[in-house]
Each structure stands twice: as structure tokens, then as C-alpha cells.
Structure 1
């Protein structure tokens, strides 16, 4: 800040005084608060004995969080101003790209590179880290110690503050800050069916930049905030995809007979018609709600019991996990997203109970998929999708670098999930297959058509042990909505 202020009054300022005050609003005040806290805490730590108390220092620090609130209220404007200044001023852009932050005294790196956005987020991150420190201090402070109630009060104030600002910073924020000050970005999330203890369970799976977390939405009383319960997590550095020959035999999960799945679909269609009739006749809202509840129960059962495509992941330090998906397109998207992240220099780690609590707690606000993908969760003004029959002709494909045995499959969404509806013949040993095949696909509330092109695998060693699933290679895929 000082060098920028020094140039502000010259004939060639990097930033104006107003721009500096906007970008670094309240930073000096926050610095003074922490300097005072540090100056008071340091002698107590250096001359430590059983009589020393310091809870009042943490309580005072927490009571000054109002200054942070002013910083948070200005945070978005500060980022926008910094971005505009970078675009219009090459000198400031260079400064922004070459920022260095002093590391801890015991750190090997004396300075760490950081972006302007990350730098401006550090004051908020400091509150997060201080809250975790308070957790640890309380753990190691006897309940009858005079510091205990003061630390409890400081923790309460800090937690309330963090809850109030999480959405103020940016409602679309897709990252959580780790206790070490690193940013863990949410890359992908969605509902998947996990096979656990030989039964199917619906899970919400979150893929962050360095970890895959499998969670279940907790049942909560009316009026209480919904929360996730972490079932397990795997650091991406430890996550591997077992090949078919390496896979353990899958747990015995008896598939639902096709005729029962069809019965469910018929029930759902009938309930849909009843709901529409009630609405047309301006029926009682209670009757409509009862029908919607029945429809949701049937759709949920269908969603849970229809997937059959295995998606296996393994923690190299322990357990394997199995998901069942209805769409190979979806399976490939999860696999590709994980593999893309694994190309980075990732380190293995173990989350402490507090770190896991912070990460799981962030899932509810960060999630991008809010509802189970069933049609009964749709609002009345949302498109009901298409019904009837769709005629599709798969002509040909090109752009392959070498000859292969190629075929295509077509998937459409039906009752909230995707189903494979058609498959071309295999066109052997060619880089320009010409199928020219026509299909008639039934649509049941469909909104998307997916096409996948595979290379056929004839290697019998790659046939899965437990269900003879042949793992063909996806050569290309696309989607039309």
C-alpha cells in the first residue's frame, strides 16, 4: 500500500488515492487490530505459566469483527476496482501478478506468490483460521479455567460472524478456504447411487480441487438449517480407478426386474395425470400435495433402483467404493473431471475432525445441484419436457486419427435420469464409419439427447468379473438440448 500511495501524488500515479482506498478499504484498521492482539499475546506466551490468562484477548479480538463486516461489504467493489485497474494500467497489472506474501517464520519459503483476489480474501480467511484455533484452544482448556467461558464467547461471536458473511462475499462463491489458507474449489457435484452394505443409497457427491467427498443430507426438524453428513472422502492424490481385472467382485445387489420398473413408470404417469386434472378443476391444495408426495416417492424409488452402470473408485490406502449410474455419459464426465484435477501436483493428506466439519459444512452453500433430479421437484413454470416419439438418423462420423471398430449409442432423459435408448451396429476397422441407421426413440418428459461414440473392445481379459460388463472406450460424445 505504501508504494502505491507514494506514487498517487506524482504526475504518473499507478492508482489514484480513491482507487487505493476502495481496493484496500479497512485493511489498515484490520492490521492495527491484529498488531495490538499480537503485541499483547506475545509476552504472555513468552512468560507462560499456569496463572497466565489470555481469553480476554481473544474475546476483544472477536468483539472487533465489525471492522471486518465493513471490509466484507466492500469486498466485491474492491475486486471489481482491482480488475478494472489491471485492465487499464499495465503497471498495476504487473504488480498484481507478482505479489509476494511473507511466509511463517518456520516456513522453508520466505515469500509466497499470491493473486490479488486471494490477497484480498486473506482477512476473511484469518477469521476462519482464528475460529479453528479457538476450537483447538477450548479442547485443551479445562472447563473450570477462567479462560474457558471467554474463549467460548469468542468462538460464538466468530462463528456467528462467519455464518452472516458467507453469502455476502459472493452468493455464487464456489470455494471454501482451508485452515492452512488455501482455496479448495468445488468443481462438480451431483446425486449418485452408492452401493453400501449391499443396498442402494442416494448420495450427494462433491468433487473439490483436491478431494472427493461423499455425503448424505441429514434429516432436520422444520425450521432448522439443512446439513450434510460426510460418509467418506478420498484425497485425489490417493484416488485410483481400478481396471476391470483389478476390480473386486461387486457387492450382491439384486437389480429390480424390468416389469417392476415399468410399473413404477406407469404409476408416475398416472399420478401426473391426476395432478393435472386437480389443477384444471382447481382442486384442493391438500389433495394436490398428497398426489405430489406419492409421485415423489415413486420417482425416488425409480431413481434409486434403475441405475446399472458401475462406477468404481478406490482409495490406494484402503477401501473401494461402487456407484451405479444410469448414463455412461455421466460416468465419463465424472472420470474426466477427476483425471483432469489429478494432472496437477497433488499431495496426500488426512483431514482433522475440524477440517472435515468445515468442508462438509461448506457443501450446503457451495452445491450447484440443489434437488434430487425427479420431475416432482420441478416448479410449475418449468418446461415439462417432450413426450411422444423422436426419429433420429445416425449417418456417419469423421475426424478419427486411426482405424477402429466404432459404434454409437443414444441416451435421453426420462423421469429425471438418463437412459440408453438406441445403439448402432459396430462399423469395423475404419476411421470414417457410415452407419446410416434410423431409430425411433420414445420421449417421456425428455429435454436432452446425448450421443456417445465408442471403440468396441474385443479383448476378453477386459471383461468385468462380476457382471460381464465390457469396458469399451468412449471416443467422443455430445449433447443436444
Structure 2
């Protein structure tokens, strides 16, 4: 007969009802090392966001009241758990004096050490808290005259109750010191005595809310006081954040929080040596970082909980259990850090069907959120809302699993490889840096006890649950909603020339699924983009900015990164320029925000086309004065085409040019990437094609006759002055683009001894496309000319402009600092 059947038989003889075998809780600590009994808690993990300054005093106190009520509910659950833990104590003590004791008196004392005292402390605290809240409720109902209490929201004081409870922290210290011994006794007796095993695995407690019964193991209940220390500290932090500074409780709560943090810090330090295994060089195995990632090592994406220890990476599957039961972890794989190689990249573009499925998923999530926001109170409505919230969480888990696009490959010297996916490049780089820092120490790996290590994850974990929107929603903190526009200008401080792009990520309920990148710059120490990125954001609080570079054909690397907190009160619908410090690299950008109700998610559409579209339209779409296609082609020609014989006269292959044209019409970032590796004559051919495909020439046709007349002016300086004066009448985009191109062609002609392209040669190539005569009939300044005269005029006009040594400088981007009252800020 197996252990389970023995327990069932014993219970039946005692007339105790037995649930089905599937409902019996597995002991999640069965394989766990007792030395790993407390998760490391760092002080910074307790820092919650500051309370929004825009909250009214009434709203602040309402939130405070909600926090206090939440603490009371949590205390009542904890008391029921302590009562359940103490239920078998009297019977075990009584049996200790018999001829066949289940436990000896000493063992009973060890198992329940300080538990009765802890129960009395929390009973007193809970009763006091309930009395204060009941008095508060009676006051709100207008019955304060009957009770004689003046306990308005602004006067609800609970700080003294917390001070009284915190003064008994030494009891928790004693419990924690004894915890190892208590668990050891429980495990030993569970294995050796079927009577005790049945008792230890059959503890139940009534739930006050729904009258159901929750089943526990004795060992799981012994863990509750350990978990309570951390929860109490977090609750105190939350309560302090919602308590006005002028409130009578504020000073008391500050002192209570200080004492609680100090106690936790001391416990962590004293248990530090108990959590690890000794490694080489005197180091010990410790948990460095953990979090949820997507594991695709077996060809199927799965959400996993990843743990980074001093000497290894452990990948686990989280198995969440019912309320009142401990979560469980199952081993997936592990890799030693010694010799581990990492490689990251943005994954290839998703297939269209995958994008359609993700769009459908986001649309359903949007509709569910709308329904949840519109629900009013009522039992049926609340039941429906709970179901919808559950659906929303399931959909978000799917989105969290299938939308990540950043890939991190792990390659071990033993030949084992695993692939992880991240939603955020920032998060990926955080993991990469943490792993790289440990691998550089070249620590030898002590083979782990995988069962023990995996079981310890419940207690060691720092991240409790996946970053779902619905979990983070409704926290009351100020956030940004609407359209956030980011204009990325330039970067400075590179250590060596590199092809660089900037990646911007904006969160939504702490989930970074809004991302965009600039195109990659040419190899430069001071790259410039002046590229505008736009985001439709929902409850955004942070923006992450990364500078990514590639040097001499090497793999891309993150050169620097930073996080910028988005504060609605500092954002406006006018551009504000900022300089961000990303390590040694400085990135200058501008921000503006337009607040508006959110629309349903739009499907992924192709970008508006670039070729064959009026240049003003393209410039407006891109937020610039000179379209990116022209600027990128010019940069590329100047980078590797100035010494090319016949540049702009010898065109590239039609196939290559059409491929680049299609890329610029659909995806700027991909187009620039292809441009970097394209044959240089294809790049120059693309530039000529863009100008030729414009519906109207850069110099408006109505100026054709006026410019033709200036050619009759014999004095070159007078002629150029007249021509520049006519140029001033052109639209801004046309004028600046034309000047930008003229400066470029002058630089090309400076190398004419090598490339054989003089100013006249270049004017002959570009004249017919840069200046066109009126299409038909009479122009505004006279009749049109025949084709032979037209070509001569076109060439001579452009040649005259190219001969000008004092051409005005071209402005490539719009002035983003449009608000004179806002100065540029550096961060």
C-alpha cells in the first residue's frame, strides 16, 4: 500500500472525510534545501512610485482607507492560517506523555516555536484595526454621536497599532532562527510515522468569504510567518505612500517602516551564508536576477521563469496552485555560466498570418478593457467583470508569449544551446550584461542538485508573476495616454566611428510592447537622424532609449541606454528638446504629447509610399524638410562613391534600384540597411529616380521662364543674386532640399580629377529633372519653349547655381524647439 492509501485508510478509520486524490496537495518543499529558507530582499525592491502630487487630499485619504482595509483582509487570512497551524498542537502535546507519542515534547516545542505568541500579537493587531475601521464606517454613516468617536478619514490613526506590533519583531527573529529545525522535524516524522504524515497533509481551514475549505500541509503553513515578514514591509511602504505628510500617523509609520526594513536586512545578512553552495575562488552560489522570459529552445514558445545564479542559469516552469497553496516550480533546463557565449538580434519579420493573429488578439483585449471600464456595481455585473478579467489575463499571457521579437541565443561549450525571446531590447540587454559580468569571472561550476535548486525557487524568487497589464492597471499613478511623438536628432560621445541607430521603447502598464527605431546612420563619430517616431500609448509611465551601434562589420552592441520617466505635467503638445545621458553616449531628442481617447488597435499597414508622391507630403509625413531617402542616398554616396568614376552618370542595375525603391516605400529602417550594402551606382541611381519621379520638379515650373531670363545677365555675380532671390520664393521643403542637393553635388565635383564628374557634367545629368517647364499652353511668364531650348536652359540654370560659392545652408529638419518658454533640458 502506498503512502497516499495509508493516509486515506487512517482517515477513514477516524471517520474523517477524504477528498479525491487529485485534490491532495503535493508538498512543494519535499526536495527543498532547508538552508534556502528566505528570499533575499534588497532595499530598492521596496521602493514604490511616489504618490501623485495631483491627487486631492480626499482622494489621497480614500486610497489610504482602501490600503488599510486591504491590510485588515490580509491579516484575517493570516490569522486563519496560524489557527490552522496550531490546531494539532494540543493533541500532539497530549500524545507526547503517552507510551506511543507521535512527537516528543521537545519536538512539539521545536515545530510550534513562537507560533502561539505570533498568533496572539496578530490577533490583537487585527482586533484593533477592525475596531478603528468600524468606528470610521459609523462616522461616515453619521453615527459618530452615538459612539462618541471622532474618527473621520483625516483622523483615522493606525500608526500606534503598527508600532505595538513591530515591537515584537524579536519573536519573528526567533521563529526564523528555529525554522530549519522545525522543518527538519516535520520531514523526518512525515517519512517515519504514518500517523503524523496523515496529520501533516490534512490540515484544512474555512474561508470566510465563500465558506469553502482550503487544504494545507504543515510545512506549507510553517512557511507563512516567513512570507509575512516581507508582506508586512511591503504593506507598510504602500500605506506610507498614501499617508499625507501632515497626517498624525506619518512619523509613526516612517519609524515602523525603518524598523521593519532594518529587521529584514539583518535577516538577509545572517542567512546569506545559508543560501549558497561554495564555488571556486571562495564564492558562494547566490541568486542574482530572475524574471519571466519566453523560451523557444524546443521549437515552441513557452513562458518560463528564468533564474540567474552566480554560476548558472536555471530555467523553470511555474505551476500556480489554488489559493492557500504554495506555487510550485518544475525544472526545464540549466546552463553553466563558465564559457557561455551570448548572441542577440532582432528576429526576422513575422509572417503575415502571425501579425494578423496578434492584431486580432490586441483588438479583443481592447474591447475587454472597454467593457471592464464601463461596468457598474452589482453582483451579476461583478461576476461578469471577474470572468472578463480572467479572459484578459489569458490573452495577455498569449501576447506576452508570442509578440516578443528580440532573440538572445545561449551557447554552452558542451554544445547545448537555448534561445530566449524578450519584448524589450532594454530588458534583453539587462540580462545580457548580468550574465556577461558573471562569465568574465570564469567561475567553475559546482554541479547543482537540480531538485533542491528548483524547489528553492519559491522562496528565492524576487519576481512573483508575469508583467501583465491587468495586474498593474488601476494603481492610480499618473500616466500618459494618447500620441507620444519622439524626434531623435543626434548622438555624441562615441569612442570610435560606428553605424548607429536609436531604439525607443514605451511601456503600458510596465509592458514594453511599443517600440520603434531610427534608421542606421553612416559610419560616424557624431551620427544625425532628425527622424520622428510616433507611439499610440495607453497608461505609459516610462520611455527607454537605447543607442545601438555596429563597428567594422562586427555584431551589433548596445552602446548605452537609459530610462526616462514620462510625467504628463511636463509633456505638452509643443516640442521640448532634451539631451539624455546613455552612459558615455549623449542622445538629443525632442518630445511632444497629444492626449486623446484611444482608438481600437489598427492593423499593421504599409507606410505611405515615398516615390511618386509630392515632396511636401513626404516631408510632412516624416516631420523633416529634406526627405530621408535623399539624405540617406547622399550620405551613402559621400561615404563610398566620391571616388567612383562616372558617379551619377553611370547608373546601377534596374533590378537593384527597384528593390531599393520598394524598400523605401514600405520600411525605412529596412531600406537603409539594404542601402548600406547596395552597389554605389544603384544608390546614385535611386537618388536620380526619386527626383525624376516627383510629380512636380523641385524648382516649381512657374519659375522656369524667370530663371531662363536670368541667363541673359552677363555678370555672373548679378545673375546668381537674381537666381537666389527667385529661389527664396520656393516652398520651404523644395528650397531646402534643392540647396541640400546642390551642396552635395559641389562636394562631388571637388573630386572631379578622380571621378571625372565636373559641375557641368552634374548639371547636365540633374538639370532636366530638377527644373521643368510648364506642361502645356502658356506659362505665367510667357510661352513654353521647344525641347532643345528647354534642355539647354535646364542645364545652364543648374550649372549657374552650382557655380555659386556662397549658397545658403540647407536646413534638413523642422525646428523642434517651437516653444520659446521651454528651454532645452539635459538629463
Cα drift, residue 338 of structure 1: 1.0
Counterpart for residue 518 of structure 2: 424
Distance in structure 1 (CA, Å) of the matches to 2:414 and 2:184? 27
| Shift, 1:419, TM fit | 3.5
- Aligned residue for 1:186? 287
Q: Per-residue deviation at 1:271?
A: 0.8
Matched ranges for 1:64-75 at <5 A: 65=110
**Aligned-residue offset at 1:443:** 1.3
**C-alpha contact 1:128 1:162 (8 A) present in aligned 2:** no
1:69-94 Cα distance to aligned partner (Å, 9 max, x none): 69xx9xxxxxxxxxxxxxxxxxxxxx
- What residue number does 2:538 align with? 444
Q: Is the 8 A contact 1:256 1:305 kept in 2?
A: no
Asked if 2 retains the 8 angstrom alpha-carbon contact of 1:132 and 1:179, the reply is no
Check if 1:212 corresponds to 2:313. yes
Query: What's the CA shift for 1:289?
Result: 0.8
Deviation string for 1:79-112 (max 9, x for gaps)? xxxxxxxxxxxxxxxxxxxxxxxxxxxxxxxxxx
Equivalent position of 1:376 in the other structure: 470
Counting only pairs closer than 5 Å after superposition, residues 458-477 of structure 1 correspond to structure 2 as: 459=553, 471-477=555-561
Partner of 1:270: 367
Counterpart secondary structure, 2:301: strand
Report the CA distance shift for 1:201/1:225 in structure 2 as closer, same or farther (over 3 A).
same
Whole-Å Cα distance in 2 between the matches of residues 233 and 255 of structure 1? 34
Q: CA deviation at 1:62?
A: 5.6
Which 5+ residue runs of structure 2 have no aligned equivalent?
Answer: 1-100, 119-172, 201-216, 232-263, 566-827
Q: Per the alignment, in what secondary structure is the counterpart of residue 397 of structure 1?
A: strand
**8 Å Cα contact 2:112/2:182 also seen in 1:** no
Match of 1:388 in 2: 482
TM-score normalised by the chain length of structure 1: 0.60
**Range with bigger deviation, 312-321 or 156-165:** 156-165
- 1:296 correspondence with 2:393: yes
Query: Is residue 260 from structure 1 mapped to residue 357 from structure 2 by the alignment?
Result: yes
Alpha-carbon spacing, 1:288–1:364, altered in 2? closer, same or farther (3 Å): same
- State the match for 2:223 in structure 1: 163
Residue 504 of structure 2 is matched in structure 1 by 410
Paired with 2:309 and 2:294, the residues of 1 have a C-alpha distance of 19
Q: CA deviation at 1:386?
A: 2.6
Aligned partners of 1:127, 1:345: CA distance in 2, in Å?
35
Contact 1:131 1:158 in 2 (8 A): no
The change in CA–CA distance for 1:419 and 1:221 in structure 2 (over 3 A counts) is closer
Q: 1:311 aligns with which of 389, 398, 408?
A: 408
Aligned to 2:435: 338
CA contact (8 A) 2:507 2:543 kept: yes
Alignment match, 2:564: 480
Name the larger-Rg structure: 2
TM-score of the superposition, structure 2-length normalised? 0.37
Aligned mates of 1:217, 1:382 — CA distance in 2: 29
Conservation of the 8 A alpha-carbon contact between 2:111 and 2:182: no
Distance 1:375 1:170, change over 3 A: closer
**Corresponding residue SS for 2:296:** strand
Segment drifting more, 60-69 vs 199-208 = 60-69
Residues 413 and 448 in structure 1, CA contact (< 8 A), matched pair in contact too: yes
Shifted more, 443-452 versus 275-284: the winner is 275-284
Separation of aligned partners in 1, 2:220 and 2:538: 47
Q: Cα distance 1:443–1:281, how it changes in 2: closer, same or farther (>3 A)?
A: farther
Q: Please give the alpha-carbon distance, in whole angstroms, between the structure 2 residues aligned to 1:375 and 1:388.
A: 17
CA distance in 1, matches of 2:446, 2:286: 17
Alpha-carbon separation, structure 1, partners of 2:300 and 2:419:
11
* Cα deviation 1:124-143 (Å, max 9, x = unaligned): 799759978998x99xxxx9
| Structure 1 SS opposite 2:492 | coil
Cα gap change, 1:242 to 1:436, in 2 (>3 Å): closer
Following the alignment from structure 1 to structure 2, what is the Cα–Cα distance between the partners of residues 188 and 223? 26
Higher helix share: 2
Aligned counterpart, 2:302: 201
Does residue 401 of the first structure (1) align with residue 495 of the second (2)? yes
Report the Cα distance in structure 1 between the residues aligned to 2:182 and 2:311, rounded to whole angstroms. Answer: 23
